[in-house]
């Protein structure tokens, strides 16, 4: 079968049911022969390679320009496949897997010798998860190997939630992309370390801290409050890098009293300095004012619906970037439920945070 290519990267159209099987077979063969393939998951697109092969995994780091000390998440189809990757599975891992797998929860466990150092960036632990996406599961199943996969973007830029985003960043740098349409969750998985008791939240994501606490019925240490600013050695290497950022500087206006007024004041100030801002706002704020129509505006959903905002976040940042704005002003949301993951990503992407006067820091 001949597949279309962009700069040598194969485009495998898997949302077309007539071609999905063949597309998956082609992607699986690439993985089995040491290549790298981007594929959809429910969170964002991942860039996959055989987790057991140092040379294959190295290609992920090279394609993404990812720092070598930032470990990858290994994607599997279920707990049976986790067994060979880890030294032990604590009982709370079974409990969490039962509730949240397949799904956007990554568990950090002590690693076995099967995985090369490059996959875990030299750590003695490994991050594992079962994605909740039929194409991702079909691909891992067909390849019959554990798939190491970080987000399929250039390191530091917004994560990809469509095959188009992957192509924009990685065409010519990877073997293929399995095109499965838009990602349902839109932000990355929650990362929870089970290396110690109590468990430690390393990254808020698709499964909320509130739900984890309910299922575990025990304390969870939240290292991610206020953007996860860590002093000293970060327990999760990914925490120390600027992430998820568009090329235009991003100003984050935190939620709180007078949020709209602060946005307007900022706009006026930028305008006075001859700059062209782009705006990422909630429905409520966008509806409360008439903004000059020549400012690019992305309305990402209601303040009461952080799930929808999460799904639209990265696409909105990429679109604003493509409008060549000088600054992106993004409105913050309340830091609860999915809002935690959103604010974590926005804080990491932000060049400047305009804090609310009543902020509890």
DSSP single-letter state for residue 71? P
Query: How far apart are alpha carbons 254 and 355 in whole angstroms?
Result: 5
Closer of 81 and 236 to ligand AMP (Cβ)? 236
**Choice from 43, 70, 77, 151 touching Mg ion (CB under 5 A):** 151
Does the protein bind ligand AMP through residue 347 (CB under 6 A)?
Answer: no
Does the protein bind ligand AMP through residue 237 (CB under 6 A)?
Answer: yes
Going by DSSP bridges, is the β-strand pair 327-331/277-281 parallel, antiparallel, or unpaired? parallel
Does the protein bind ligand AMP through residue 191 (CB under 6 A)?
Answer: yes
Number of residues that bind Mg ion (CB under 5 A): 2
Of 280, 267, 261, the C-alpha closest to 320 is: 280
Q: Which long-range CB contacts under 8 A does 271-275 form with residues at least 24 apart? A: 275/326, 275/327
| Residue position matching structure tokens 């063949």 | 22
Query: How far apart are alpha carbons 24 and 14 in whole angstroms?
Result: 7
Does the protein bind ligand AMP through residue 123 (CB under 6 A)?
Answer: yes
| Chain residues 4-33 in contact with Mg ion, contact rule CB under 5 A | none
**Choice from 41, 81, 151, 344 touching ligand AMP (CB under 6 A):** 151
DSSP single-letter state for residue 113? T
Of 262, 314, 271, the C-alpha closest to 289 is: 262
Does the protein bind ligand AMP through residue 118 (CB under 6 A)?
Answer: no
Residue 70 interacts with which of ligand AMP, Mg ion, none, CB < 5 to 8 Å by class: ligand AMP
Segment interacting with Mg ion (CB under 5 A) among 55-63, 151-159, 270-278, 353-361: 151-159
Strands of the sheet containing 9-13, edge to edge, are: 5-6, 9-13, 176-179, 37-39, 46-50, 147-148, 73-75, 125-129, 105-110, 190-193, 200-203, 221-222
Residue 203 interacts with which of Mg ion, ligand AMP, none, CB < 5 to 8 Å by class: ligand AMP
Which residue number has the CB closest to ligand AMP? Answer: 238
Closer of 20 and 239 to ligand AMP (Cβ)? 239
Least distance (Å) between residue 282 CB and ligand AMP: 25
Query: How far apart are alpha carbons 236 and 34 in whole angstroms?
Result: 27
Does the protein bind ligand AMP through residue 203 (CB under 6 A)?
Answer: yes
| Chain residues 85-114 in contact with ligand AMP, contact rule CB under 6 A | 108
Query: How far apart are alpha carbons 271 and 265 in whole angstroms?
Result: 10
Residue 238 interacts with which of Mg ion, ligand AMP, none, CB < 5 to 8 Å by class: ligand AMP
Of 244, 222, 219, 226, the C-alpha closest to 235 is: 222
Residue 332 interacts with which of Mg ion, ligand AMP, none, CB < 5 to 8 Å by class: none
SS3 129: strand
Query: How far apart are alpha carbons 128 and 101 in whole angstroms?
Result: 11
Segment interacting with ligand AMP (CB under 6 A) among 24-32, 120-128, 249-257, 303-311: 120-128
Closer of 9 and 41 to Mg ion (Cβ)? 41
Segment interacting with Mg ion (CB under 5 A) among 124-132, 148-156, 309-317, 338-346: 148-156
Closer of 151 and 193 to Mg ion (Cβ)? 151
Residue 190 interacts with which of Mg ion, ligand AMP, none, CB < 5 to 8 Å by class: none
Query: How far apart are alpha carbons 222 and 203 in whole angstroms?
Result: 9
> Binding residues for ligand AMP, per CB under 6 A?
70-71, 73, 108, 120, 123, 125-127, 150-151, 188, 191, 202-203, 236-238
> Binding residues for Mg ion, per CB under 5 A?
150-151
């Amino acid at each position: 079968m001949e597949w279309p290519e962009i700069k040598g990267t194969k485009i495998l159209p898997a949302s077309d049911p007539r071609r999905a099987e063949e597309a998956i077979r082609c992607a699986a063969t690439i993985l089995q022969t040491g290549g790298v393939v981007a594929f959809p998951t429910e969170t964002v697109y991942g860039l996959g390679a055989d987790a057991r092969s140092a040379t294959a995994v190295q290609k992920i780091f090279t394609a993404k320009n990812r720092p070598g000390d930032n470990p990858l998440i290994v994607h599997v189809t279920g707990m049976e496949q986790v067994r060979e990757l880890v030294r032990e599975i604590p009982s709370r891992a079974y409990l969490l897997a039962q509730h949240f797998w397949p799904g956007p929860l990554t568990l950090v466990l002590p690693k076995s010798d099967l995985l090369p150092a490059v996959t875990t960036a030299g750590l003695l632990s490994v991050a594992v998860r079962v994605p909740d996406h039929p194409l991702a599961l079909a691909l891992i199943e067909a390849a019959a190997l554990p798939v190491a996969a970080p987000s399929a973007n250039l390191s530091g830029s917004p994560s990809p939630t469509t095959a188009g985003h992957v192509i924009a960043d990685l065409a010519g740098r990877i073997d293929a992309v399995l095109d499965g349409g838009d990602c349902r969750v839109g932000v990355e998985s929650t990362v929870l370390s089970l290396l110690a008791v109590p468990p430690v939240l390393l990254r808020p994501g698709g499964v909320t801290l509130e739900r984890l606490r309910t299922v575990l019925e025990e304390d969870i240490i939240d290292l991610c409050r206020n953007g996860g600013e860590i002093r000293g050695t970060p327990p999760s290497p990914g925490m120390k890098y600027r992430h998820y950022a568009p090329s235009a500087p991003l100003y984050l206006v935190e939620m709180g009293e007078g949020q709209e007024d602060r946005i307007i004041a900022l706009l006026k100030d930028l305008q006075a300095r001859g700059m062209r801002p782009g705006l990422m706002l909630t429905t409520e704020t966008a509806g409360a004012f008439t903004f000059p129509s020549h400012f690019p505006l992305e309305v990402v959903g209601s303040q009461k619906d952080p799930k929808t905002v999460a799904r639209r976040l990265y696409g909105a940042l990429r679109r604003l970037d493509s409008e060549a704005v000088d600054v992106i002003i993004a409105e913050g949301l309340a830091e609860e439920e999915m809002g935690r993951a959103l604010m974590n990503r926005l804080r990491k992407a932000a060049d400047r945070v305009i804090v609310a006067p009543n902020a509890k820091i």
